[in-house]
């Protein structure tokens, strides 16, 4: 039944089913392998590639599958493979830019169990958790919730409370994070070099950033019904920012994005947003989003070669840049 791959966690890092109060085998069967093909002309093709793979988590008996959104954004074709080896085609339902979640609909019966969900707010740093990707028991990791803290991504992404686990799972994309009761509390998004809080036995510091499932609950029904969260789209500038020494530097620009059109350049220092001084990526994003929804004008003061420049960036909805695959 298990799809053993070429690698496996050491037995000391795997969950022991006999010590658990939930059906581990059923959970492993509720995790499917996901493979997505994206057209070369897609906006994200250069950054995320045209062939993407990871895990999906079966949410219900209607074939709704949860994953991390970057795996399926702009995807033309998606295939799901169950632990039993069944291959089913799926269609993307939604990619919520704010949370990072992606949803799919299987076009045929998956014949798998589905997971229970619980609020991640009930979990605490130090808790034992389980990070499960496709591939069955060899890819099941007994881990530790190392921290809960904000996470800011250079691609204009911010979680006010992300989950951080250790040790690191090497096939993290879309893997499910489960609590000690076997309930889903998050979906893995990233591998980080500095994920721990300094108290972990894993001295490498490596771990995974996980998006908490709490962000899904208020928007799930709307995502399934309409493909949208029902919340106003955040203003998108089309820049990639790096922070350090209380400074924010423009590390790159999205081709044809609002920031490039307004004259922002790579290497510019971002100093103020609408008169508010910003010192970190997180408060930069908060300052931009506080101005309104997508389309709002964002006044910005930047430093360039010793001079201060004042720019006005006409923000956009990030989704407006995305390739829309043809219907099946």
The domain that holds 151 is classified in CATH as 2.40.10.10
- The residue with greater pLDDT, 122 or 218, is 218
Element (H, E) at 25: helix 24-29
The DSSP H or E segment spanning 259 is helix 258-262
- Where helices occur in the chain by DSSP H, the ranges are 24-29, 45-48, 220-226, 258-262, 281-289
Torsion angles phi and psi, residue 36, rounded to 5? -125, 140
Answer yes or no: is pLDDT of 175 > 60.
yes
Range of the domain at 195: 120-215
- Indicate the number of domains in the chain: 3
Asked if residue 29 has pLDDT above 60, the reply is yes
Q: Whose CA is closest to 188, among 204, 203, 219, 167?
A: 167
Residue 207 within a domain: yes
Are 34 and 71 in contact by the 8 Å Cβ rule? The answer is yes
Q: What is the pLDDT of residue 2?
A: 37
Contact 179, 208 (CB under 8 A): no
Using one digit for the tens of pLDDT, what is the confidence trace for 72-131? Answer: 999 999 999 999 999 999 999 999 999 999 999 999 999 999 999 999 998 999 999 999
List C-alpha distances in Å: 85 to 35, 91, 111, 136.
14, 19, 11, 11
CA distance 42 to 51: 12
Look at residue 164 and tell me if it is in a domain: yes
Domain boundary, last residue among 226, 254, 288: 226
CA distance 94 to 112: 22
In which residue are the tokens 């998108």 written? 236
pLDDT in tens, 238-267: 999 999 888 999 999 999 899 999 999 999
Is the confidence at residue 201, as pLDDT, over 70? no
Tokens of 129: 């958790």
Could you tell me if residue 88 is inside a domain? yes
Q: Does residue 56 belong to any structural domain of this protein?
A: yes
Residue 22: Cβ within 10 Å count: 17
The dihedral through the CA atoms of 60, 65, 68, 69 has a sign that is negative
Q: Tokens 């028991």 identify what position? A: 137
In a domain, 326, yes or no: no
Taking the C-alpha atoms of residue 181 and residue 149, their distance in angstroms, rounded to an integer, is 23
For residue 273, what are its two tokens?
């947003």
Per the DSSP assignment, residues forming a β-bridge with 33 are 55, 81
Q: Is the peptide bond before 171 cis (omega within 30 degrees of 0)?
A: no
Q: Is residue 290 part of a domain?
A: yes
Structural domain contains residue 4: no
Same domain flag for 206 and 269: no
Q: Identify the three-state secondary structure at position 293.
A: coil
- For residue 131, which of 142, 147, 117, 145 has the smallest C-alpha distance? 142
Are residues 107 and 124 part of one domain?
A: no
């Amino acid at each position: 039944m298990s799809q053993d791959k070429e690698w496996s966690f050491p037995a000391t890092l795997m969950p022991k089913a006999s010590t658990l109060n939930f059906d581990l085998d059923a959970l492993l069967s509720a995790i499917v392998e996901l493979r997505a093909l994206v057209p070369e002309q897609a906006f994200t093709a250069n950054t995320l590639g045209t062939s993407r793979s990871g895990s999906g988590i079966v949410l219900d008996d209607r074939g709704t599958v949860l994953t991390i959104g970057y795996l399926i954004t702009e995807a033309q074709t998606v295939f799901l493979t169950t632990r039993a080896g069944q291959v089913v085609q799926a269609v993307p339902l939604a990619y919520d830019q704010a949370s990072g979640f992606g949803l799919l609909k299987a076009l045929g019966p998956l014949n798998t169990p589905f997971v229970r969900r619980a609020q991640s707010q009930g979990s605490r740093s130090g808790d034992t958790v389980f990070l499960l990707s496709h591939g069955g028991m060899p890819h099941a990791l007994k881990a530790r919730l190392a921290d809960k803290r904000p996470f800011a991504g250079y691609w204009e992404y911010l979680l006010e409370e992300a989950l951080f686990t250790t040790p690191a799972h090497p096939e993290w994309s879309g893997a499910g994070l489960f609590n000690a009761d076997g309930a889903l509390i998050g979906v893995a998004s990233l591998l980080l070099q500095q994920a721990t809080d300094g108290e972990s036995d894993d001295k490498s510091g490596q771990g995974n950033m996980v998006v908490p499932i709490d962000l899904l609950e208020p928007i799930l029904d709307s995502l399934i019904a309409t493909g949208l969260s029902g919340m106003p789209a955040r203003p998108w500038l089309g820049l990639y920012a790096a922070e350090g020494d209380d400074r924010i530097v423009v590390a790159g620009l999205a081709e044809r994005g609002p920031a490039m059109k307004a004259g922002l350049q790579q290497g510019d220092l971002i100093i103020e947003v609408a008169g508010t001084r910003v010192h970190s990526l997180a408060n930069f994003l908060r300052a931009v989003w506080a101005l309104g929804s997508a389309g709002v004008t964002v006044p910005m003061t930047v430093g360039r070669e010793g001079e201060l420049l004042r720019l006005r960036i006409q923000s956009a909805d990030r989704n407006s840049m995305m390739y829309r695959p043809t219907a099946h």
